[in-house]
Amino acid sequence: MIDTIVGILLILTFLGFIVFVMKGGNIMLGFLVMAILWTIIGGIPLKTAIVEVFSKPALEYGSTIMVIIFGSWFGRVLVDTGVAGAISNEAVKVSYKHPIIASILICLVTSLIFTSSYGVGAVIALAVILIPVLTSLGLPKHIAVVAFSLSIGSAMYVNIVIIKQLQIFFPHVFYGAKYLKFGFSAMFIQLAVVTLFILLHARTIHKNESEKSDHQLTSTVRVPKISYIMPVFPVFMNLAFGWEPIPALMLSIAIVLLITGNLKSYNHALIIINDSIKTAITDISGLIIMLLFLTMFSATAVKNAAKFSDILNSIVPNSPTILAISIVILAPLALFRGPLMVWGAGSATVAVLAGTGIFNQYFAFALMLIPSVSIAISTCITQSWNLWLVEDSKIPVKKFLLTGVPYGWISTGLNVALALYMFK
């Protein structure tokens, strides 16, 4: 009886947390407050809380933080050395002769770059190049922006920065061949949806007859064509040789700096290394603290799971198929950091789902990742780079959401079906 009352109180505070976040509350502080509240409500002893809630989880998460830091640094190096821009430039070359193909190619290239790159800085650096190209091809600005954001989102299915964050809840899910088979399949499914999105708006694309355009790249940075494969090189090292993320990223950074000629001078190398590190860490500084608070909240959710397991068992279906259908139907709840957005109010949902232990961890991992990526990261205004894209392009928020969410929803449905097939 006591556990039931405690469980109800925990759920009520969880619902309050959802309302707080969806009304624009600071999610970082929300995680910390929820960790404290659930510690008190759940009756976790003070000594236990100090060690197992507010200390040990954050310390153990340090290794993941390091991967996120190196992943962000690698993304910044790709941008600062001109590799990302050069890859984009290759896509632009065919723009005015084959505009529909070029639009699709630009989205594919964007996805390729963000398999390893991460952060609003990297998005801005590419957006100022590629959004004008897409609009010059005839795509309305809101269509160009949504296609660009969906393409970035597709890459998050294999981006190690994203995957490592969700692994907090699923310690038996590894960033290796088993997951990446799903990850790359989900990535290409979303890219297929992006392609459909562009084809359905093909009538707006016109052929630009001029050989040159004001929207074309003005950058003259030249990099060897071998550098075009570097965005996926860390993933290749993991799949082919079983390398851990940090050495794979370090080797990739070193190779990019070497083949782009940035190691010829000691002083120049020092400048680009220092500048890229500073920018990369700035891009993710808030994210790091938020994730550390999230580990504390996750620890309280796991410790309290037994207290409301009876209530959850009556809500969470035991059938993988029914759960999958429910996720698809409720996918828009990932918007505005809602209960299906892992890096929002959904952190409690995923902690509870993981704590019940009912489902295969890879399956539960995928079901929580999919709406977070295809809906929230790809189409929601609360994602930092989407907010920048909308504000920079002066698109009404409502128009951005109404244009993008239906396609994010389609991608969610297809990828949930894929997860059900692969992992149930």
SS3 annotation, the chain: CHHHHHHHHHHHHHHHHHHHHHCCCCHHHHHHHHHHHHHHHCCCCHHHHHHHCCCHHHHHCHHHHHHHHHHHHHHHHHHHCCHHHHHHHHHHHCCCCCHHHHHHHHHHHHHHHCCCCCCHHHHHHHHHHHHHHHHHCCCCHHHHHHHHHHHHHHHCCCCHHHHHHHCCCCCCCCCCHHHHHHHHHHHHHHHHHHHHHHHHCHHHCCCCCCCCCCCCCCCCCCCCHHHHHHHHHHHHHHHHHCCCHHHHHHHHHHHHHHHCCCCCCHHHHHHHHHHHHHHHHHHHHHHHHHHHHHHHHHHHHHHHHHHHHHHHHHHCCCCHHHHHHHHHHCHHHHHHHCCCCCCCCHHHHHHHHHHHCCCCHHHHHHHHHHHHHHHHHHHCCCCHHHHHHHHHHCCCHHHHHHHHHHHHHHHHHHHHHHHHHHHC
297-313 mean pLDDT? 69
89-117 mean pLDDT? 78
Local confidence band at 54 (pLDDT 50, 70, 90 cut-offs): very high
Contacts of 400 (CB under 8 A, 6+ apart): 142, 145, 146, 379, 381, 386, 390
Local confidence band at 237 (pLDDT 50, 70, 90 cut-offs): confident
11-20, 115-124, 208-217: the lowest-pLDDT one: 208-217
Residue 409's Cβ-side half-sphere holds a number of Cα atoms within 13 Å equal to 15
Backbone angles phi, psi at 125, to 5 degrees: -60, -35
Decide which of 146 and 131 is more confident: 146
The overall pTM is greater than 0.75: no
Local confidence band at 149 (pLDDT 50, 70, 90 cut-offs): very high
Q: Are 295 and 87 in contact (CB under 8 A)?
A: no
Residue 236 in this model has a pLDDT that exceeds 70: yes
The pLDDT value recorded for residue 125 is 63
Local confidence band at 209 (pLDDT 50, 70, 90 cut-offs): very low
The pLDDT value recorded for residue 311 is 63
Local confidence band at 208 (pLDDT 50, 70, 90 cut-offs): very low
Residue 304 in this model has a pLDDT that exceeds 60: yes
Sign (positive/negative) of CA torsion 252, 257, 263, 267?
Answer: negative
Local confidence band at 212 (pLDDT 50, 70, 90 cut-offs): very low
279-287 mean pLDDT? 82
